[in-house]
Amino acid sequence: MAQANISGLDMIRNPRSNKGSAFSLEERQRYGLQGLLPPNISSQADQIARSLKNLRRKTDDIERYIFLSALQNRNERLFYQLVIENIEELMPIIYTPTVGQACQEFADIFRQSQGLYVTAADRGKVRQILANWPHRDVRLIVVTDGERILGLGDLGANGMGIPIGKLALYSACAGVPPQQCLPIMLDVGTNNEQLRKNPLYLGLKQPRIEGQAYLDLVEEFVVGVQDVFPGVLIQFEDFLTPNAYRLLEIYRERVLCFNDDIQGTAAVALAGVIASTRVSHIALKDTRIMFLGAGSAATGIADLIHVALCDAGLCSEEAYRRLWFVDLHGLVVKSRQDLAPHNLPYAHDREPLGFKEAVAAIKPQVLIGATGAPGTFTREIVSLMAELNERPAIFALSNPTSRAECTAEQAYQWSGGRALFASGSPFASVEYDGKTYKPGQGNNAYVFPGIGLGALASRARLLTDEMFLVAADCLAQQVSDRELQAGSLYPPLTDIRAVSKHIAKAVAEVVYARELSDSEAPADIMGHIESMMYDSSY
């Protein structure tokens, strides 16, 4: 809807009010737009067709990313309607895998600032900087410090592409109004010397602050956010594992927040594991799961699966015995002296083994990769999983696509077409032995938008493990038997807004049941959620 307090060129130049050539004759007369636009009036469908034509003539994905960013900054509703109607084609452009390249080249392709930058030089002034944001009705913040961007490492301030992309998915996939979203870069410096030497780099050209100075800045940020934007949901994104766990431990019981790499990844992976049991016919509580990689993503998945196993009837010790880790130094066992605190619950009393030997000895039904190291699921490993299981589940979750532990084609070929495969970034359908396989994308976008929408709709004070469990179970229920038969452990992306609504409802029901909201449950929770969702049509 056009904003009545602005007119003329200001209306055209405001991405929130701009409709471009779609302004009606009556609107052109009312807002002083006559003569400022071509005379022929376009429909939004016409504009989408024109945008797709221009987008598809771009020669590579980074140019398509730049095109879509420019459209978002020019005509917000057209951008979101375009993405919603073409989610399968465009989500890999606005997020993984293309966002990885966009972050690497962020300083080179920078056109217009989006969001806020809070830096290590701003100690004592963080609240003032937050208050500079022109919109007060902010309900959702995605923040990163850029230290562990996807599987690409320390990209410093270039990591701002991640909060921008995540919030675009909140609006496209779950209808969170974009004016309620705020991307924030917590720029504490970078240890990437190549970036610091780059004259075009836009962030602080200094080593990262660490220790208490780092924690003090984050504390000032969180306190300032609560003051300027009361009740806002904070999503921590792409923090290095030790910081990710420490910040989650500090704030999860204090403010409405979660870490997507730990909890969002966990929920989407758990959903895939639950869906795989419908094919393997092995109950979740009887499933052995092995992780390659022991960072925040992998241990976050294991932590939530441990909760799910206990919920399925196992005691805590039995649940831990279903979960095994292999890292750079081999099987995680009690005799090792190099384990981080978050790995200790998964250190079993067993002899040290290499990856292949561990798979052969433990005989997992599910193999989950979260390494950032491409090719680590070799032919030998996948073939061994297929020898041990009729329907082995292979999750190659590392992002972007270039970092996946194996490709979909490799998983199907090396398993004789029996693998249940999922990946963090998209893979095309695979033809093998006369059958078409449609690999599922275990993308966090299936989960975090719905969880956020549910938390905002219910005005939750905290997010609990139970909410991520119900989100995972709800997502698994959305996978049809037909999709499972085609090899997919997740529903099609075209259904993602419907999936997000169901997850939001499930989360909101837990919020109200556990009395974690100051508001009463509406008679029609789904109707209430739908009434809050952003409509990008004109």
Residues in the chain: 538
CATH of 446-532, one of 3.40.1350.10, 3.40.50.150, 3.40.50.10380, 3.40.449.10: 3.40.50.10380
Where would I find the H helices in 229-363? 241-251, 265-280, 296-311, 316-320, 355-362
DSSP percent split of the chain into helix, strand, coil, nearest 5: 50, 10, 40
Give the pLDDT confidence score for residue 3 in this predicted structure.
53
**Domain formed by 98-255, architecture:** 3-Layer(aba) Sandwich (3.40)
110: left (phi over 0), alpha (psi -120 to 50) or beta: beta
pLDDT along the chain (538 residues), means of 10: 72 96 97 96 98 97 98 98 97 94 96 96 98 96 96 96 98 98 98 97 98 98 98 97 95 97 95 97 97 92 97 97 96 94 94 97 97 95 98 93 94 96 92 94 95 98 98 97 90 96 98 96 98 97
For the domain spanning 263-442, the CATH number is 3.40.50.720
The pLDDT value given to residue 431: 96
Residue 174, SS3? helix
CA 533 – CA 453 distance, rounded (Å):
9
Q: Determine the pLDDT at residue 399.
A: 85
Other beta carbons less than 10 A from residue 477's beta carbon: 15
| Catalytic center residues | 95, 166
Domain ranges of the chain: 9-81, 98-255, 263-442, 446-532
Question: In Å, what is the CA distance from 322 to each residue of 179, 302, 345, 366?
Answer: 44, 10, 12, 10
pLDDT at 4: 53
For the residues of 395-448, what is the DSSP string, one character each? EE--SSGGG-SS-HHHHHHHTTT--EEEESS----EEETTEEE--EE--GGGTH
Question: Which of the listed CATH numbers 3.60.20.10, 3.40.50.300, 3.30.70.920, 1.20.1370.30 matches domain 9-81?
Answer: 1.20.1370.30
pLDDT value of position 288 = 98
pLDDT score recorded for residue 297: 87
Kind plus residue range of the DSSP H or E element containing 290:
strand 289-292
Which among 421, 345, 354 is positioned nearest to 382, based on CA atoms? 421
9-81 and 446-532 agree in CATH topology: no
Residue 143 — left, alpha, or beta (φ > 0 → left; ψ -120 to 50 → alpha)?
Answer: beta
What is the number of alpha carbons within 13 Å of residue 332 lying toward its C-beta?
25
Give the span between the Cα atoms of 188 and 141, in whole angstroms.
18
